[in-house]
Structure 1
Amino acid sequence: MTLRTRVGLAGGVVVLVALAIASAVVYSTVRADLRGNLDDSLAQTASQSPTIAAQLKQKIADTGHAMPIESPVVVGSTLVQFVTAPVTRGSNRAFVAVTELDVAVARGVADAYFQDVTHDGVDYRLHTALVPNSRGTLIRVARPLTDGADVLTALAALLVSLTLIGGLVAALAARLAARRVLRPVRVLTDAVEHVTATRDLRARVDLTGHDEIGRLGRSFAAMMTALDASVHAQRRLVADASHELRTPLTSLTTNLELLAEDDGLRDPEAPAQVRSAIAQVGELRTLVNDLIDLARYGEGTARAEDTRLDLVTGRVIAKAAARVGGPRFESALSPCLVHVDPDAIERAVGNLVDNAVKWSPPGGRVLVTVADGEFAITDEGPGIPPADVPFVFDRFYRSAQARSLPGSGLGLAIVRRVVETHGGTVAAEPLDRGVRMRLRLPVVRD
């Protein structure tokens, strides 16, 4: 469901609820007015009790029928009954049984009152009062409650119809208005989707309003400009660094290869040392090439295949453990299959291991575990200051205590780039002694 539709529905619901409340108030007011008019009519009829009694007696005399005056009779649309003295509880059952309250009214100790009663399956509004100057005779006048039911039914139908129609019209009007109101949001959404699909950071948003959405559009445009400049600067930096490093590395490799020839050096150990230097230069060249590749990871250049993370880790640990003077390694490597570029992941794991070795004290312990797609390595070094934790994986970032040590500040940044390219995550967890580095990758399920 689109935001425009949701706004329309929300507007319709708000109006619908408001109309429903107003309709309920109107219906209750009209119902109370009808009940009040009915009570006034009954009270007015009761006030004419002497005249009604005289007319009933005259009618009995004219017709010659011996109809007791206590029998209820219809006068117009009103049912009238006289209860002659002495009034006793439960007497005069021709209509509604007399109650203790009726006896009290007949004795003059209680006021006239109204009540809802049912007689012969019909609901009545009944008014009971004392006939003036009658020495205890009651008049009871009643009208069916259905007299105003037709009006209330018609009113209810009208209010329901108006409420539903009003809610529907409000929803349609709100949806039409939302099209214009939400246009800046649609423009911004289109720009974001374009950037997501094309990685084109040059997309711009033309929002000139002075409201919150206009400010958001201008902030988004400024962010895109800054991000585009930052990405281009990083790519230029990698390209320039690789260009500047390749030339001296090539010369150094050539010179070392010449020195490695039989007649190049007279020292018997020189050829071995030179070969070692050549190998180190090759590692540097590989690192430069990897940096260039990592700059293009977002373009899908990674070579992915099913790889055993535990075996890759085992190889890296074996290489690190062979170094003289290194820490003591302990490992718990569970079989774990991931779909990654094996060379890139080996580079990332190697960087984490090298980082732990660099910070471990002589004879310290390095614990490495692999399980369920997670590689974790824990050292016993000085740890990471809390202020540095959010930045340890940033490119070229080096803490104050690391600036005096060899390194370029790229190792952990390469780890994060490789892992995030493969849909994983990295984290650093400071401990009381040392630090624990984690990388997690999606596992290939059987």
Structure 2
Amino acid sequence: MRTRLTLVVFTATVVAIVVALVTAYRSVSPLVAAQVDRSLGDRADTVIAVLRAADAQSVSGGGAGPIMPGGAVPVGAMLPVRSDMTEQLLLADGTVRPLTTGRDPLPVSASDLAVARAGSGSVETEIMVGDRSYGVLTKARPGGGAVMVGQDYAEVERVDREFIWRTASITAVAVLLVALTAWLAIGRILRPMRRLAQATQRITTTRELSTVLPEAGRDEIGDLTRDFNAMLAALRLSRAQQHRLVQDAGHELRTPLTSVRGSAELLQRAKGRLEAADEEQVLTTLVQEAKALDALVGELVELATDQHADEASARVALPDLAEDCAQRFRRRTGRAISVHNEISTGRDEGDTPPADVVVRPRGLARCVDNLLDNALKFSPADTEVEIRIRGTELAVLDHGPGIDTADRTAVFDRFYRADRTRATPGSGLGLAIVHDIITAHGGTVYTADRPGGGTEVGFRLPPAR
């Protein structure tokens, strides 16, 4: 990743610099060309002015003018010499008279001759003299003829080449510095990620979840590291819960299995010699223990796999769900079960009518079923079980013996059986399942004494948004 990121930075830098240089070059080139054109125009105007002054001096002194046939042009000393420029006078008849000595004459084209004959206008061209490139401006001269001024582009081309080479070398150095800086900076930035990758690879190899990932900064990598640590903590808790579940399940399964084995061995040894009543009792014990085993295994599977975890969440009205569960238990048991929707008028809570919750419907129904089953199991058959709903709180109230204060938290632990209920059928997993499902939905469970005797067991869920 370090190499790829460095290449990305390197490529982006090169592209940015090249685009900037090309844009700058294209912006400057017209300015340089315009400056050359102005230089040619200024030089031509200067030559024309010098020639006008030479004409005036010749007329006043009676000397030969600069445009007289065969006459000398006495203006060389009056022109500021420029090594990159050549000037000449083009007469209307096509005669060329040099204005600077030691320079090759500029070739005359038909357009140049037309300007000289017309005595007005100007024309600008680019020509080659030998192996050198010239920009030539032919400008009409008042009084006849034209002035031709040529500028050697060698210096301009040299500056252009030097600009290109210098910018190329500076660009190369800058790009290399950027690449080196990016390599070092990215390496420093990715150092926590490398440590994180090494730690996770070590965890994958050793399966040791107790490893704590190295602390990182407050950037995205730091957030990722903290998320990994939180995930590892959750995995450690899950593994510990699985180990405890296996140990508790083994302990709880041992009793019914021992009973089943003892009854089966008794039947095997007796080989039909038992009295009919005794044999019936042994078979009844076998059936009861098998049913208990079946129920226990079913609850273990549900607790370990959370069968409703893949169920989609939906908006649920607690009164409707409670009524459905109550109706199902009324048909199944024939017991009296009532559902009451209350409005909280507590000083802190204010008026709170029953509210909807967002939950997994079947999972929440299992919670209510477990609470009802628990209440019906521990309350007299001639008493009523009540479901009370207040806001997002649902409680099941019975007239049973109640729960000791010391047991109120422990009843939600797996396989926990209070001393007074050990003789009652059950696995001790019903309330544990309620606890796991409700906490998975962000809720809480609780137990309390019911006024007038009995127990209140319920849960509170966050309201739907």
Higher relative contact order (CA 8 A, sep 6+): 1
